[in-house]
Amino acid sequence: MRSAGRSKQRITISDVAKSLGLTKGTVSRALNGYPDIAEVTRNRVQKMATTLGYSPLSHAQAIRTGYAKSIGLVLQVDEHDAHGPFLAGFLAGVTKAATSEGWTLTVATAESDEDMLRTLARLVDERKVDGFILPRTFVEDPRVEFLRSEGVPFVLYGRTSDTDGCAWYDILGEKAMEAAVQRFHDHGHTRVAFVNGGPQYFYSSLRLQGYLSGMAVSGLQIDNAIVRSGADTVEQGAAAAELLLALPRPPTAFLYAVDMAALGFYRTAQSLGLSVGSDVSVISYDGVPEGAFADPPLTTFSVNRHRAGQRLAHLLIERIHGAAPERLRETEQAQLLERQSDGPLALTSEELAERVHDSAHRRSSGKEKEQ
């Protein structure tokens, strides 16, 4: 059960105390900023601690203080791996901020909603983490309810409706949607479709708002026939595109709330012989790396995930230290990546309909694409 063990003897708080002729209690208080320690003593202790290379064992602290100095992140893996591309930079941001304050990041994964709650419970039960970062908030989020009822600190990556006790960091997706509509409008488009993500995500409601507001600002007519939702994956995005393009008066501009779904739009457009970026325009949101390698590269709003991670870690630590959640709410703008999937209006809605119709005929026999 042992072996493979480390050898080097750690230097403990007692070592520091001994070499200073103090007791470990005094050293502890000196290091932790208690007021009943003479300033000169505190300095001696701190100096000795650094020259000896002492650093407290967080486990030992945790057992008494109850705080592990660890932030928790539980990823839902089955979730149409939308997480994937988000992850690397995000983790870097979180750990960077965490380490700078002497904290660590504990990550776990869950395969279902129940698994998620079980995992959260286990981590907090075993005191492995002091709080959580919750990515991708839902309209009805069981994680929030659970943690709130348990009194466990958490910070949302995203916003939510029931803001009670919630701290968050979020990107203003609604502003991005609004700007996208105006960009389409500036390019002469008037029939702008909106393909939203799943209604279970809170961000979907925000992005819809943004779309509607953008349409209003641009003075464009809202047609519910070209507003869809529930597209988070490539397949779902492709299906939505098929439906929209098959309309009698198809939209010429497509605003997607989610990059992966927008990549599905490419698939449909291609199979209909439509050239993305000229025949039809699409703008999306997320900034996934796949978008840069699509043909043509996807115009999208990118979020700085590194920064998001960093801020979230910071906010969570503040929250754990007792800051009021109301004070811990930050939002930021997404950044437009102007690429080639959108452009000036080239085909009218009617011409587009014709093209689609023609292509549908040819499709009955020949299959295949080329490039």
**Binding residues for DNA restricted to 18-47, rule: CB under 7 A:** 21-26, 28-32, 34, 36-41
CB of 114 to DNA, least distance (A): 25
User: Rounded CA gap, 81 and 165, in Å?
Assistant: 29
Strands 104-110 and 154-157, sheet pairing:
unpaired
Nearer to its own copies among residue 125 and residue 145 (C-beta): 125
**Distance (Å, rounded) from C-alpha 177 to C-alpha 207?**
6
Least distance in angstroms from the C-beta of 200 to its own copies: 20
For its own copies, the binding residues in 191-230 under the rule CB under 8 A are none
Choose between 253 and 328: whose C-beta lies nearer to its own copies.
328
Residues 259 to 288: which contact its own copies by CB under 8 A?
263, 266, 270, 275-277
Binders of its own copies in range 140-179 (CB under 8 A): 150-153
CA-based torsion, 301, 82, 343, 239: positive or negative: negative
CA-based nearest residue to 162, from 139, 130, 182: 139
DSSP three-state, residue 165: coil
With CB under 8 A as the contact rule, which of the stretches 19-27, 42-50, 116-124, 188-196 interacts with its own copies? 116-124
Residue 4 or 40: the one with the smaller Cβ distance to DNA is: 40
308 lies in the binding site for DNA (CB under 7 A): no
Q: The tokens 């705080």 sit on which residue? A: 67
Say which entry of its own copies, DNA, none residue 125 contacts (CB below 5 to 8 A, set by partner kind). Answer: its own copies
CB of 265 to DNA, least distance (A): 53
Q: Which two tokens stand for residue 270?
A: 């291609």
In the numeric block, the tokens 């990556």 are attached to 157
Q: Which helix or strand (DSSP H or E) is residue 282 part of?
A: strand 281-286
Closer to DNA by Cβ: residue 50 or 331: 50
Question: How many angstroms separate the CA atoms of 88 and 96, rounded?
Answer: 12
List Cβ neighbours of 309 (8 Å cut-off, separation of 6 or more). 89, 90, 91, 92, 93, 94, 95, 96, 97
Nearer to DNA, 9 or 364 (CB): 9
Q: Residue 153 binds which entry of its own copies, DNA, none, with Cβ cut-offs from 5 to 8 Å by kind?
A: its own copies
Asked if 64 interacts with DNA (CB under 7 A), we say: yes
Considering only 42, 44, 128, 187, the residue that binds its own copies (CB under 8 A) is: 128
Distance from C-alpha of 179 to C-alpha of 219, rounded to nearest angstrom: 13
Q: Counting contacts by CB under 7 A, is residue 61 touching DNA?
A: yes
- What does the DSSP 8-state code read for residue 191? -
What Cα–Cα distance (Å) separates residue 245 from each residue in 153, 240, 316? 46, 9, 45
Which parts of 27-56 interact with its own copies (CB under 8 A)?
55
Measured CA to CA in angstroms, residue 37 lies from 32, 88, 132 at distances of 10, 44, 35
Shorter beta-carbon distance to its own copies: residue 106 or 190: 106
Contact set with DNA (CB under 7 A) = 10, 12-14, 21-26, 28-32, 34, 36-41, 54, 56-57, 60-61, 63-65
